[in-house]
Amino acid sequence: MNKHTRMSEEWERWLDASLDKGCRITDIVAAMAAAHYDAAWAEATVRERQLQRSRPTPEAAAAQAGPYRYGTPTIRHRNNTIVTSDRTVRVAMRIEQPVVAVLDDVFSPEECDGVVALARVRLQPSATLSPTTGENQVKDHRTSQGAFLDDADEPLLQRLNRRIAEIMHQPVAHGEALHVLHYGVGAEYKPHHDYFDPANPGFAGTLKRGGQRVATLIVYLNDVEEAGDTVFPKLALSIVPKKGSAVYFEYVNGDGQLDEASLHGGAPVERGEKWVATKWVRQGVFK
């Protein structure tokens, strides 16, 4: 049977729509092969289309060029506190460039225990998004277990997500689902950035789902017996986990520049265990 090596306009539209939805490349290629497109040609075509879509326009590239420009931080705090609708959060430490803040009393001890209980039965090996294919992958640089917690029908999660949105000064709808991570002895997450580098074609699909990540809040759900610090290598900063406290940081400005100084990681746990809840916030509504 003849294999097609040229797409019709209808299939062009279908391919763009599939990439917009964040479909996996393997699934797109399989559908095209089933429609009698040459599989090797289809894979090369899909990857090239994904790469083209991830390239910034000349105007966007010009806006992002040069050193990172710091503006007014998104997070708001007065008199060393952030007052939410149901809790007063205290600012224990802050840095202006890059924007980093350590916050106390973000969750109560009971709320921490409740989140751990919800996540414990859903844990899976933690994955990262491949910058090449956009698919989830389990790698040895991230040796924790994790679970995304949907707040549907969960009053505790709904309350915490509202509070987090107020702390981060962002709409609730811009936040990804709360992501809980569990680290045992020796588990770590080597230094990385939370933003998606648009130069990597594998991130094109996820960037369509609300835009770039702009800020992160990591809430510590327990006291770690030894080590397990959150580290910022470019700042020589190490934050000791404390139950109910959190670290907040921003890494995208109004021009779309990405702050490389936000590089961070989770140091290996040397004794005991470590539980954290992470909230990532996007530029727009996360779908």
pLDDT digit string, tens, across residues 30-42: 998 888 888 889 8
Q: What is the pLDDT of residue 77?
A: 77
pLDDT digit string, tens, across residues 60-114: 565 567 899 999 999 987 789 999 999 999 999 999 999 999 999 999 999 999 9
Please tell me the number of Cα atoms within 13 Å of 189 on its side-chain side: 25
pLDDT digit string, tens, across residues 147-163: 999 988 899 999 999 99
Q: What is the DSSP code string of the chain?
A: ---B-S--HHHHHHHHHHHHTT--HHHHHHHHHHTTB-HHHHHHHHHHHHHHHHSPPHHHHHHH-SSPPP-S-SS--BTTEEE-SS-EEEEEEEETTTTEEEEESSS-HHHHHHHHHHHHTT-EE--EE-TTT--EE--TTB--EEEEE--TT-HHHHHHHHHHHHHHTS-GGGBPPEEEEEE-BT--EEEE-SS--TTSGGGHHHHTTTS-EEEEEEEE-S--SEE--EEEGGGTEEE---TT-EEEEE-B-TT--B-GGG-EEEPPEEES-EEEEEEEEESS---
CA distance 144 to 209: 25
Q: What six digits make up the tokens of 129?
A: 């998004």
Q: What is the pLDDT of residue 132?
A: 52
User: CB neighbours (10 Å) of residue 92?
Assistant: 16
Q: What is the pLDDT of residue 50?
A: 75
Burial environment of residue 52 by CB neighbours within 10 A (0 to 12, 13 to 18, 19 or more): exposed
pTM of the full predicted structure?
0.77
Which residue positions in the chain have pLDDT lower than 70? 1-2, 53-64, 127-143
Q: What is the pLDDT of residue 58?
A: 56
Q: Are the C-beta atoms of 262 and 218 separated by less than 8 Å?
A: no
Q: What is the pLDDT of residue 114?
A: 98
